Structure 1
Amino acid sequence: MGYNTEQVTHTVEQPSVSQATSPLQDMRIYPQDVGRLLQEEIYHETLSYGSRFDPADIGFNDLAKVYWHWVFVGEAEEATRFRDQLKKLLKEKSHSTPDKIQTFADTIKDNGRDMEAVLFYHIAAEFYGNQSKAGLIGIKNCANGIKESIEAMLSRNKELKSIIRTHVIPLMHDMREMIRRSGDVNEKDRCLWEVWCLHRIERSEGLVDNFSGCENTIKEAIAIMERVFQEGAATHLVYGHFLNNLGYTYEQTSRPNDACEYFRKAIAAYGKAEDIDDDLRAKWVSNSIQFLKDANRQMQ
């Protein structure tokens, strides 16, 4: 894939979703589809849980599994009940700090429980809040965790793309809104963490072949950076990533001329980035040069 993305390992959590705005209400997936789409161990363990148990009767480790059961059978209200019970249990534990919840999400993601990790990432993002710079960085890092969870989910089952589009990426958009609504952080700091979150969103949209959504997200992020940072936008690595990834999106949607234009812009931007060392600069420039060559071949 021609996308460039930050080379870091961060945790991400799935945001809590209110019933009024829940993306779960937008799509119903019937039980006969669940066995094909959902990881077998979660499906079989939770199929009976969902109909037999109250959230208060289920242990901490099973609540996330049951949440996903209700997501996959299209029951938004039931999913919300189990998610809220999990949040309640975490709030009752004095040691349930946002960074510890994020670390737990990292651990279970690395152990192959990436779908459950998504839920914990979002709860961690909510616990971070949006009233401090550290909180915004935590939310941004949680968004990266979700992106990495998406990569793990798709590595096992490409058919999960529709679920990721409908239920997971909207949670990332919600996390972006957590950052955007902050009023206690200066505009440039808020902008920087918001666009890094948008970078994880556009990467995820690309992973599920939602190129129209990806294009819109990238263009929005570029516009935000150019408004806030003006001529200084290119001093940030993420700006070069957006230009490169817009070029890749154009290439994937049969617009090689536009692709070449943005690969050239990305090369120039990487040359101005002040938040990377020379080795990383050479890497990203080399990548964009190769993508430019590929796009030029399309036009021949």
Structure 2
Amino acid sequence: MVLPSTKSDGYGNTAPDEGKDQADGLPVLKDGLPVLKDGLPVQKDGLPVLNIAAYRFVAIHDRERLRDQWLEQCLALSIKGTILIAPEGINLFLAGPAASIETWLESLQGDQRFAGLEAKYSWSQHQGFARMRVRLKAEIIRMNKPDIAPAAGRAPWVSAQTLARWLDQGHDDEGRALVMLDTRNAFEVDYGTFNGAVSYDLKQFSDFPKAIQMHRQAFEGKTVVSFCTGGIRCEKAGLFMQAIGMKHCYQLDGGILKYFETVGQRHYQGSCFVFDQREALDPALKALSD
């Protein structure tokens, strides 16, 4: 089961995740958002399909074995979706009955490399995937910058609650102007983004390094918070910005989906595109296709 963690928000604060109560050792989200009860996320609005998204940057040397094992498990549990496995880690998007998802997560977290893996939950009326795929890739999110290795250490990050507070006050806690940097592709940005966010009309994420190098001077003296759907792109974007000497740069921990879970719509316009048949989620995590 997914256990709550105590961690720093990347801005010098170390505490259990804000916006969560503790009940029987499991995280409980407020304001009608997904909660865990008796090991299972509580069904929202009677919706039957539980969707999860998660990733972990960690060295993997047994990709073929994991591929075969996870495909067999997911098929047996009537789970559909996609799992990407690369030498640098895993990235997954799965959907199915809640009990099946929780069973698979428990099995996954039995492997020490994935212990404590935190998933982002949402519910839908319909299954968003046509089949189950487990694919071997060179990178779980392609940047074509082999020196950027999140498994060796994360870039600084801020929690959704800290970001919302900064946006409320119009600056960070040191008084610097705040810039939201959208690292997603252009068609994703068209569905929705944070108010006033900067984006670069990207066709693919591997275009980000060139784009940020061309515009880095525009961020001097400001605090930059990069964001994406679930956080994985910003794990690399944040490290790359550090590598080229940019200062006061943070990534939004858990991305837009985590922000929706814990904050909601505040400071965000529109929906968030997702790569399955749900198409996009609104700030209440409701699928546009339902």
| TM-score, scaled to structure 1 | 0.24
Structure showing greater radius of gyration is 1
TM-score by length of 2: 0.25
Query: Counting helix residues as a fraction of each chain, which structure ranks higher?
Result: 1
Task: Kindly indicate which of the two structures has a greater share of residues assigned to strand.
Answer: 2
